[in-house]
Amino acid sequence: MSALYRCSSNFELVLFSSEHQSREWAVNYVQNNAKTFHIVKLSMRIQRIEFGDGETTAIVEQKSQRTFTESGRPHRLDVGALQRETWKQTDGGWKLERVQEWKVLYLRKR
């Protein structure tokens, strides 16, 4: 959610399933996840960035380690994924226009 405050009003999230979701849906999703998961570690690294006229696209690698409780037992979830972010230059500065889930690098439940 760190970048959602810098989203454009027509922000969209494209899921692995190719579904397109709105900014409001993404905010609710992140808020609900915060109730379920405790993030132990989170890192984001730009792997590639392409500059265009008023638009920038970045491939971002995101790795996280989360804990949660299921059936009364604690578990850990390690996730690594790539996402494609599109940023647009506006009168109010750079705004995040679109995030597309792109590739799962790993997904481990312990």
Dist CA 41 CA 10 (whole Å): 30
Q: How far is CA 102 from the centre of its chain?
A: 10
Residue 92 has pLDDT above 90, yes or no: no
Count the neighbouring beta carbons within 10 Å of the beta carbon of residue 11.
22
* Residue 20 · residue 13 · CB < 8 Å: yes
For residue 61, the number of C-alpha atoms closer than 13 Å in the C-beta half-sphere is: 8
Dist CA 44 CA 109 (whole Å): 20
CATH number of 4-109: 3.10.450.50
Q: Place 8 in a pLDDT band, splitting at 50, 70 and 90.
A: confident
Q: Which helix (H) or strand (E) holds 45?
A: strand 38-51
Question: What residue segments make up the domains of the chain, in order of their start?
Answer: 4-109
In this prediction the pTM is: 0.82
* 46-88 pLDDT tens trace: 999 999 999 999 999 999 999 999 999 999 999 999 999 999 9
